[in-house]
Amino acid sequence: MTTSLAKGQNGPITASDVVVSLELTTPADLSALLVKADGKVRSDADFVFFNQPTGPGVRLVPGAPGQAASLAVSLGAIPADIAQVRAVITLDDASSTFGRFAPPTARVADATGAVLYEYRIEGLSSESIVIALELYRRQGAWKVRAVGQGYAGGFAALVTDHGVSVDDAPAAPTPAPQPAPPTPPAQPAPPQQPYTQPAQQYAQPAPPQPYGEPAAQPQYAQPAPPQPYGEPAAQPQYAQAPPPQPYGQAAPPQPYGQPAPAQQAPAPAAPPAEVSLTKNRPVSLVKGQRVTLRKEGGVALTFLRMGLGWDPVEKRGLFGNRSADIDLDASAVLFADHNIVDVAYYGQLTSKDGSIQHQGDNLTGEGAGDDEVVLVDLTRVPPHVNTLMFIVTSYKGHTFEQVRNAFCRLVDGTTNAELARYTLQGGMPFTGMVMAKVYRQGPEWKLQAIGEGIQAKHPGEAAPQLGRFLAT
């Protein structure tokens, strides 16, 4: 029979071997601190965590995909001078908090798997670390206590307070660039005052053309870099275009005000132009850009390969480096107008009409090149299907802040030539991403890079959020 514990409650343990497990809705690490009666470890060997998975009488057991690890504790093997074994939960994302998710549940089971105690850790809000429960000695016997104590000082503070030594990375020295300032003063000296006055009269008219009243010009010149992150960056700058008009009409700026509109006119037309494919020069797509799926010479592409890839960000922990096992899943969603008619994903590798074939699941993102591949035979797509949307979801709930080098690329399935590539720049706090879509326009198929974040850990959660991308 399972006994439910509330915070502070305790109960006896009669089993000699127990397993402490977790039920979580967000990625987290489980670790154990073996402490003496004074609350300190004897040495760093009494700290069991992912880089040191075994300790005296305690072993960290990796969980199944999508599940947290557990602690196997052999109470008879715990050294006599250890008074408590404290189970600690640490969120993978240190900037997140337990308050954003359903409360975690800690369980203590015997060697047969029968759950003895269950503790739902309520009341957490801004904490990212919590001491879930502790196994402790009392008069020669072992007991369990529900602790549920959030730790505000951070993981380093938690373990150092328990006597674990932490090697912090040395702070990088900040270079002091003082030799540079002395050189500029020497150059202003040569221009004497006879030249200063003309310089002020002529220098100001000349710069205003690139910088002056067309201050909008640098703003339109800058959208090119931000476009990989999204065209929205350009919109605030277009919104600033009206202010120059009052200045342009004013008497002094008139000579410069008239050229400005001519230069500003192309800027609103900055949405990425549709580009053509050439096998010798793969297109580097930006967000929103469209490609007509025709080869050189106007021959329509019929067989495509959509490759998706990513690399996990290596986490530099207090006790060593590791890469999180980030399980991203690629899916192709088939639409007839605004209705989803089929999905090809890890649970159904081939669409019902046979036009889409998913090449299998990659659980970690390890390795070079495409991590997951989706094959598309455009000749077999039924006439009523007019959009194929390619999405990536994070099965374990990792966000794209924990992923680097995320990309999708379009390959000619006949010649194996890469035709276009879209690379995500920077991390985003989303668990899903709409990477691109292939859609019909008249008799032709086109591809559009999207790169918009959604919150979804699998295609079923993504489906209700995809409608807004059909018209973009």
DSSP assignment of 145-190, as one string? Answer: EEEEEE-TTHHHHHHHHTT----PPPPPP-----STTTHHHHTTSS
Checking if the pLDDT of 223 tops 70, the result is no
Quick one: pLDDT at residue 335? 95
Sequence-ordered strand ranges (E) for 64-175: 70-74, 84-91, 105-110, 115-120, 129-138, 141-150
Checking if the pLDDT of 278 tops 80, the result is no
In this structure, are residues 433 and 391 in contact, taking their beta carbons and an 8 Å threshold? yes
Query: What is the average pLDDT across 284-302?
Result: 80
Checking if the pLDDT of 245 tops 50, the result is no
Strand, coil or helix: what is 73?
A: strand
Burial code of 4-30, b = ≥16 C-beta within 10 A, e = fewer? ebeeeebeebebeebbbbbebebbbbb
In this structure, are residues 294 and 432 in contact, taking their beta carbons and an 8 Å threshold? no
Query: Tens digit of pLDDT for each residue in 312-340?
Result: 665 555 555 555 567 788 899 999 999 99
Which residues touch 419 (CB under 8 Å, ≥6 apart)? 277, 278, 279, 282, 283, 291, 301, 410, 411, 412
Quick one: pLDDT at residue 418? 83
Higher-pLDDT residue of 128 and 67 is 128
Q: What percent of the chain clears pLDDT 70, i.e. is strictly above it?
A: 67
Checking if the pLDDT of 170 tops 50, the result is no
Query: What is the average pLDDT across 130-151?
Result: 92
> Which band of pLDDT confidence, cut at 50, 70 and 90, is reported for residue 24?
confident
Distance, CA of 293 to CA of 302 (rounded, Å):
9
In this structure, are residues 32 and 71 in contact, taking their beta carbons and an 8 Å threshold? yes
Query: Tens digit of pLDDT for each residue in 414-469?
Result: 888 888 888 876 667 888 889 889 999 888 898 888 888 899 988 889 999 999 99
Quick one: pLDDT at residue 249? 45
Quick one: pLDDT at residue 216? 41
Quick one: pLDDT at residue 32? 93
Quick one: pLDDT at residue 228? 41
Checking if the pLDDT of 136 tops 70, the result is yes
Residue 434's nearest CA partner among 400, 385, 384 is: 400
Which of 10-14, 221-225, 458-462 comes out lowest in average pLDDT?
221-225
> Which band of pLDDT confidence, cut at 50, 70 and 90, is reported for residue 5?
very high
Distance, CA of 297 to CA of 303 (rounded, Å):
17
Q: Give the tokens for residue 68.
A: 């947290």
Which of 192-196, 275-279, 435-439 comes out lowest in average pLDDT?
192-196
Strand order in the sheet with 432-441: 290-292, 444-454, 432-441, 387-394, 328-336, 339-344
Residues 86, 89, 94, 95, CA torsion sign = negative
Checking if the pLDDT of 146 tops 80, the result is yes
Higher-pLDDT residue of 278 and 422 is 422
Query: What is the average pLDDT across 386-411?
Result: 84
Which of 49-58, 257-266, 335-344 comes out lowest in average pLDDT?
257-266
Query: Tens digit of pLDDT for each residue in 360-388?
Result: 754 433 334 678 889 999 999 999 999 99
> Which band of pLDDT confidence, cut at 50, 70 and 90, is reported for residue 156?
low
In this structure, are residues 432 and 338 in contact, taking their beta carbons and an 8 Å threshold? no
Query: What is the average pLDDT across 53-74?
Result: 87
Query: What is the average pLDDT across 265-273?
Result: 50
Query: What is the average pLDDT across 279-299?
Result: 76
Which of 70-74, 119-123, 188-192, 332-336 comes out lowest in average pLDDT?
188-192
Residue 20's nearest CA partner among 102, 87, 103 is: 87
Quick one: pLDDT at residue 413? 83
Query: What is the average pLDDT across 154-158?
Result: 67
Distance, CA of 175 to CA of 105 (rounded, Å):
48
Query: What is the average pLDDT across 147-175?
Result: 62
> Which band of pLDDT confidence, cut at 50, 70 and 90, is reported for residue 260?
very low
| Average pLDDT of every residue of the chain | 75
Work out the angle at residue 133's Cα, subtended by the Cα atoms of residues 130 and 137, and round it to the nearest 5 degrees. 140
